[in-house]
């Protein structure tokens, strides 16, 4: 059972940091530039796929990517009309860290297949992993990875009533989401006693999420904002 003082600390941090001001320094800034569901989904998926490592570097790459997509009529049209074909000459070049441009082209082609088949990317974590099986950066179905980027994408698409997240998908309940677990969130969760596990895998992400349900049973990943804010301010743990 979580202490009342810790619950209060987490709730206060969530209130403070889940605001529109959060958007400008986060990869969610890119899908927020669009109004259509189709553009938002494509932009959000690509932005989440890129979101690891140096924030300054991947945000700059995403900015350039979105400029290219906008010149082709927006993210959705860029995908459906195969605007990515113009990148074929660069496919062996490094895009970012362990991604090559060929990985981005493969991702774009798979997104196109899913959109033409389903009309949307709407799916849960396991279905997304099946649909994007074999794409660099997407965990395998059997993986024990924390799967931070897909869980972040799902947070963006599913949570309703948020000034940050979109709440476009109704087939998935916010109560079933799992916190997007990266190194920083993991370290704060350890410090707060939300886990004592030794690695940041899916079991750890699930354990942390279960603790957060003590505060937000219907919306546990609101705790993502709380842990982000606590990581910045490093308050004394009550």
**DSSP of 115-165:** HHHHSS----HHHHHHHTTT-TTS--TT--B--HHHHHHHHHHH--S-SSS
50 inside domain = yes
Has residue 23 been placed in a domain? no
Q: Is residue 107 within 8 Å of 49, Cβ to Cβ?
A: yes
171 plus 238 within the same structural domain = yes
Q: Answer whether residue 14 is part of any domain.
A: yes
Q: Which domain range does residue 213 map to?
A: 1-18+144-155+164-238
Q: Are residue 34 and residue 69 in the same domain, yes or no?
A: yes
Residue 135 domain-assigned? Answer: no
In a domain, 127, yes or no: no
Taking each helix axis as running N to C, give the angle between helix 37-50 and helix 101-118, from 0 to 180 degrees, rounded to the nearest 10. Answer: 150
Let me know if residue 136 belongs to a domain.
no
Quote the pLDDT of residue 121: 98
Q: Tell me, yes or no, whether 198 lies in a domain.
A: yes
What is the overall mean pLDDT for the chain?
A: 95
Q: Is residue 71 part of a domain?
A: yes
Q: Is 70 exceeded by the pLDDT of residue 236?
A: no
DSSP state of 201: B
Asked if residue 76 and residue 7 are part of one domain, the reply reads no
Q: What is the pTM of this model?
A: 0.96
| Average pLDDT over every residue of 19-39 | 97
**CA triplet 236, 149, 63: central angle to 5 degrees?**
100
| 96 in the same domain as 41 | yes
How long a stretch of residues is the chain? Answer: 238
Same domain, 38 and 104: yes
Shared domain for 148 and 237, answered yes or no, is yes
Q: How many domains does the chain have?
A: 2
Residue 222 and residue 151 share a domain:
yes
Asked if residue 232 and residue 148 are part of one domain, the reply reads yes
* pLDDT recorded at residue 238: 65
Q: Are residues 174 and 233 in the same domain?
A: yes
Q: Do residue 14 and residue 34 come from a single domain?
A: no
Instruction: Return phi, psi of residue 94, to 5°.
Output: -70, 130
Same-domain status, 61 and 115: yes
> Is the pLDDT assigned to residue 72 strictly greater than 90?
yes
Q: Are 10 and 223 in contact (CB under 8 A)?
A: yes
Q: Does 182 share its domain with 202?
A: yes
pLDDT at 157 over 90: yes
């Amino acid at each position: 059972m979580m202490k009342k003082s810790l619950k209060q600390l987490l709730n206060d941090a969530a209130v403070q940091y889940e605001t529109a001001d959060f958007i400008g320094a986060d990869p969610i800034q890119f899908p927020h530039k669009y109004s259509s569901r189709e553009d938002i989904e494509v932009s959000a998926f690509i932005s989440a796929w890129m979101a690891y490592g140096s924030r300054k570097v991947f945000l700059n790459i995403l900015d350039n990517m979105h400029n290219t997509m906008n010149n082709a009529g927006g993210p959705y049209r860029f995908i459906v009309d195969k605007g990515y074909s113009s990148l074929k000459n660069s496919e062996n070049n490094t895009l970012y860290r362990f991604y090559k441009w060929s990985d981005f082209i493969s991702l774009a082609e798979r997104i196109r297949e899913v959109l033409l088949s389903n009309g949307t990317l709407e799916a849960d974590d396991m279905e997304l992993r099946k649909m994007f099986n074999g794409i660099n950066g997407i965990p395998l179905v059997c993986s024990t990875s924390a799967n931070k980027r897909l869980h972040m994408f799902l947070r963006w698409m599913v949570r309703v009533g948020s000034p940050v997240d979109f709440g476009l998908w109704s087939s998935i309940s916010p109560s079933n989401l799992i916190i997007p677990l990266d190194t920083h969130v993991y370290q704060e969760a350890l410090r707060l006693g939300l886990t004592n596990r030794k690695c940041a895998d899916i079991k750890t992400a699930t354990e942390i999420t279960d603790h957060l349900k003590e505060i937000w049973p219907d919306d546990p990943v609101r705790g993502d904002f709380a842990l982000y804010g606590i990581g910045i301010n490093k308050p004394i743990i009550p």
